[in-house]
Structure 1
């Protein structure tokens, strides 16, 4: 039941999560772009520069389930603050790697930094722990949107970071990592100090007295028993794989066709804006129109993006529009799909299911990015666009094959009550 006290508590939780996300986003945005440059420098070859993104993704994937288990056992406050501290330790490790000229140590640092991405993903689910059914998508989308601030501010700290780094004696290209350490520690303090009462523990406690609810289950157990959960997790993972596949190869394609770094940067910036800037709109749609229709809207935008990339790969303007549509389609699909993941399990089972979802999302993105390079080499950018339609087709076909009662649950779930 939605009471005034409940609403005040949820508003405060959302504010704390947004604050932590902004701090964590600044830390990630300030360092991951520099990671590729540092990887090339320490390894002595540009061929290793891609390992920065690979190790970060690996860190996010590996930590997703352990952080979820920590949340299930001790609450979001402990899980999120612990993850932020680990990410800060990753930044310290990266600085040490540069000082010692040790490439393997840098890879370890970047992997630990990737835990910060897992924290960002878990924070969006934390927004749903005490959300009522009619605002779950909105609350989740507001936390997703807040990552835009860090994504925009972070890269602009490169210059100031070098000035600060030089002043305190840090190796070149590591000053921004010092900002990351500070930002991650600050995020940990925000989570640990202000995420009280813990939203997940509060939600679990409110359900503990109901004898009809079984004990906690693992994420895979929930997937086996719950077709709605399988649909939601697959939608998020496949949508993310689609986005990563095309986005990761676009800079390569544009550079091969003579685009300047400025044009490449602008295209990616507009894509990122599409990913995050309108997420509250899609959250509102998920709540008011329905999760399923919002997912379909997202998939249609992904189709438009991929077809445009396929038929107009030689046009920079068309590629830019395609990347904007790609970001918008990702946003609609992931916001609505994530809200559906949260609705697919009782509070005590949500962290486990969400951990599996985040692991699947990161793994799908890593596989999609790796296979995209192979497809690009074999069939070109147009071929990549058309080939990626297969992933969208899976989601759309799966949607149409949902049983009638499942579709009704997806659009208006009734089986989970919130305190």
Structure 2
């Protein structure tokens, strides 16, 4: 059946009512921001007391393992959630992730009532589903975004997390007191509110996230492929019309399957340096060769074959590793010269500045990602990480300098996260996108868990300055990869 391609609208059979893709994207962003606030509040309010609950039930040694279990759980759950998205779309995958987090919250409350530590760990693993949903939401914001706005739209979803991250810690104590009359143990009450928040977020997505952005992007990609085949136009690996990138015919970057997406005739560079002369990551024959999603194995093959995808996934993982490794041990460092009476206040202030660096300026980072390019922002993020390690590592007992270092650390993480995630999403065919994104979140989560586990050992053996030095050294290979990887330009040819 013949298809008709329209700028900014869905490709549907001639005579059918067109779907306004830009309107769907605006609606999708609004819903994602709403659920990011709800789910982020639920996740943070539980994490605020999770370590304390673990210490109460199993001692100090157990408290850190509870947090690690949640981090690992969030990473591992990315795989089944991405598998669900492959067939059911973003709506069902995000909802399942939030419901897994709700199940974890219920198990944690039961574990607190029974004072059963093994059940607490199981609950913490499932509770990580809230993190999985929050991370995967940023990819849903890119599915239908115009090529020249992908970074901004992804960053908006990241930024929405700020509201929950900032307000939730202050809600933990009132939430605990509010349920004291029900017999819920001390420090378990916040998890009840986490469960309610996760269920609410899942319900909002299931009811209102229609049409599904990923499934719509796939329909657009298929329609673009059919239309291109009818006219003899080359098509890239995503099924979208290929355009010239840096002088290489047919090397266009996949545009989320949005025909005519972007600003017609703008020629804005989004992913790489002009004139690199490199084939685009969406070139035919690379990645998912048959247009099939083969799960984790296929995702690994895609990342192996596409240089831009390798850089994107590496930037996200390494930025997270450096950030977590330094951040988790900063309270320990502050405790070396602050008394117990002032330590929590100081730690709260320093970490608040750090979180602000991570999320508050995400829209600015997204704008820069679209304006100056993915590689440039990744390099800027890596530079900020290096400066942050230098400032924090040489701060001594200067709380102000450590605060500056942690703020820069958050900004560096934001650069690698936003630009790396944007580059990864647009570099792979739409058919395999969920699996590759799940692999990215798995890698990121495991990198963070490894950094958190090793940082305590480094602090004990060598101290906080050496920890920062090692974190800076870890950035160097990624810096070399970013400089040598040739990336195409994202064009909006109309």
Give the TM interval when normalised to the shorter protein: over 0.9
Match of 2:129 in 1: 115
1:31 counterpart SS class: helix
Question: Is the CA contact (8 Å cut-off) linking 1:161 and 1:174 kept in structure 2?
Answer: no
Moved over 6 A (4+): none
Verify: 1:373 aligned to 2:456, yes or no: yes
Question: Is the CA contact (8 Å cut-off) linking 1:274 and 1:327 kept in structure 2?
Answer: yes
More helix by share: 1
Aligned ranges 1:183-332 → 2 under 5 Å: 183-209=197-223, 210=225, 213=239, 214-217=290-293, 218-258=298-338, 260-332=343-415
Verify: 1:15 aligned to 2:34, yes or no: no
In terms of mean alpha carbon deviation, does 217-226 or 198-207 score higher? 217-226
Match of 1:40 in 2: 55
2:102 counterpart SS class: helix
Match of 1:351 in 2: 434
Distance 2:133 2:425 in 1: 16
Question: Is the CA contact (8 Å cut-off) linking 2:291 and 2:429 kept in structure 1?
Answer: no
1:215 counterpart SS class: coil
Question: Is the CA contact (8 Å cut-off) linking 1:61 and 1:358 kept in structure 2?
Answer: yes
Verify: 1:66 aligned to 2:80, yes or no: yes
Once the two structures are superposed, residues 311-343 of structure 1 have per-residue CA deviations (whole angstroms, 9 ceiling, x without a partner) of 223211111100000001111111011100111
Residue in structure 2 matching 1:2, options 8, 11, 15: 8
Distance 1:46 1:375 in 2: 19
Once the two structures are superposed, residues 366-399 of structure 1 have per-residue CA deviations (whole angstroms, 9 ceiling, x without a partner) of 1111121222122211111111111211111111
Residue in structure 2 matching 1:86, options 93, 100, 105: 100
Once the two structures are superposed, residues 22-66 of structure 1 have per-residue CA deviations (whole angstroms, 9 ceiling, x without a partner) of 1111111111121111111111x2111101210111111111111
1:257 counterpart SS class: coil
Distance 1:307 1:59 in 2: 32
Q: Could you tell me how far 1:2 is from its partner in structure 2?
A: 3.0
Residue in structure 1 matching 2:154, options 130, 133, 140: 140
Match of 2:274 in 1: none
Question: Is the CA contact (8 Å cut-off) linking 2:48 and 2:172 kept in structure 1?
Answer: no
In terms of mean alpha carbon deviation, does 2-11 or 30-39 score higher? 2-11
Once the two structures are superposed, residues 208-261 of structure 1 have per-residue CA deviations (whole angstroms, 9 ceiling, x without a partner) of 242654322321121121111111101110010000010011001110222521
Distance 1:254 1:157 in 2: 25
In terms of mean alpha carbon deviation, does 56-65 or 151-160 score higher? 151-160
Q: Which has the larger radius of gyration?
A: 2
TM-score by length of 2: 0.81
Question: Is the CA contact (8 Å cut-off) linking 1:222 and 1:345 kept in structure 2?
Answer: yes
Distance 1:352 1:386, change over 3 A: same
Q: Give unpaired runs (5+ residues) of structure 2.
A: 1-6, 10-18, 227-234, 240-289
Q: Could you tell me how far 1:417 is from its partner in structure 2?
A: 9.7
Verify: 1:340 aligned to 2:419, yes or no: no
Match of 1:361 in 2: 444
Distance 1:171 1:379 in 2: 39
Match of 2:245 in 1: none
Q: Could you tell me how far 1:310 is from its partner in structure 2?
A: 2.2
Distance 2:453 2:105 in 1: 25
Distance 2:493 2:162 in 1: 31
Match of 2:271 in 1: none
In terms of mean alpha carbon deviation, does 112-121 or 307-316 score higher? 307-316
Question: Is the CA contact (8 Å cut-off) linking 1:343 and 1:413 kept in structure 2?
Answer: no
